[in-house]
Amino acid sequence: MRITDIITIISAMLWAAALGTAIFSLVQSAHGKKMKNSRVITLGLLLAAVLATTASAGLVFIEPQERGVVISAIAPRGYREQALQPGLRWVVPFFERVVCYPIFRQTYTMSIASFEGQIQGDDSITARTADGQEIFVDASVIYQINPNKVVDVHILWQDRYSDDLVRAQTRGIIRDGVSQFGVEEVISDQRFELVSFISGALSEKLKENGLTLVDFVLRNITFSPEYAASVEQKQIAEQEVKQAEFVVERKKQEAQQTIETARGDARAAVIAAEGRAEARLIEAQAEADALVLIQQAIADNPELLTYQYITKLAPTIDTMLLPSQSPFVFNLPEETAP
């Protein structure tokens, strides 16, 4: 509890005690019983109550996160030009009063979701892009009052700075920023440029009015139902195109695989044919060499051919009867009678 609150409570208690004493004294007097030193006690309580009330009206405690603007009936401009700093401060009782302003960081949120921002219901910013598309922007502004500009804020805005300054300027600047970008740019590669533009413009406006922009948060972008449907259809079409490209590529790969398989089979067939031809050549060369050897053997021993002929007739034939005057393939040796 602040000391100023304690003094206020004491002041109220003293006034109650003074009033109670006065009433009790009157009641006692009405019954013929005079209260001893009732006037002195009553006057003492009244004096103490007045002093406590005066002290309560003159003492002001400024919290560390606050600054106090003194509204003065005796100052030339109606206010003190310097704000009160944190701590227990004194002002002229009954001629000056103090309006405290927070200097801590505050957040103002505008959102399409209910119960998420300062205003209940849909409080998103409706904006139109450079190519005519309507979008809905959710945003949060984190700001604080400049401690050195508290008096200026009071003169310009009083306690309306949140709604009449932060909210109004933010909504207007967001609309101006969105109008400089196309819808595709807003949702893709130019989003950071949009945020930078809004932050710069908003910072200047707040600075001119005694506030400091801490951060601007572009929370979400929502599209109109028509554009959202067109985006969905576009994505479906792109997926279908990619699927068709995949099928074509797969068919190409299958065709290439078939070609390579055919080439391999052809190479295998060629190699096999070459192998068979080479084998046949070797076989023919062997036969030719064999014939040469046979020819050489017959030339050296002419009767060898007759011998081979006779042995091939039959292994069990000992005698042959031949017609006279029959030609023979070979000249048989003549049998000499004993």
Residues 121 and 21 in one domain: no
| Total number of domains in the chain | 2
Radius of gyration of the chain (CA): 59
Distance CA 63, CA 81 (A): 19
**DSSP for residue 56:** H
> What token pair was written down for 69?
């603007």
Residue matched to tokens 């200047």: 204
Residues 98 and 169 in one domain: no
Give me the residues paired with residue 134 across strands: 128
Q: Looking at 205, 223, 241, which one is the last position of a domain?
A: 223
Residues 75 and 119 in one domain: no
> What token pair was written down for 251?
């068919």
Range of the domain at 152: 106-223
DSSP-derived pairing of the beta strands 106-110 and 87-90: unpaired
Residues 131 and 217 in one domain: yes
- The predicted model scores a pTM of 0.62
What is the CA angle 66-71-73, rounded to 5? 160
Residues 117 and 212 in one domain: yes
pLDDT in tens, the chain (338 residues): 677 788 888 888 888 888 888 787 777 777 666 666 777 888 888 888 888 888 888 889 999 999 999 999 999 999 999 999 999 999 999 899 999 999 999 999 999 888 887 788 888 999 999 988 888 999 999 999 999 999 999 999 999 999 999 999 999 999 999 999 988 888 777 889 999 999 999 999 999 999 999 999 999 988 877 775 666 566 656 666 777 777 788 888 888 888 888 888 888 888 888 888 888 888 888 877 777 777 777 777 777 667 666 666 656 666 655 565 655 555 555 544 44
pLDDT at 336: 47
- Sequence-ordered list of residues with C-beta below 8 angstroms from that of 170, at least 6 positions apart, any chain: 108, 110, 125, 139, 141, 198, 202, 216
pLDDT at 337: 45
Q: What is the CATH number of the domain that holds 117?
A: 3.30.479.30
| Residue 26 included in any domain | yes
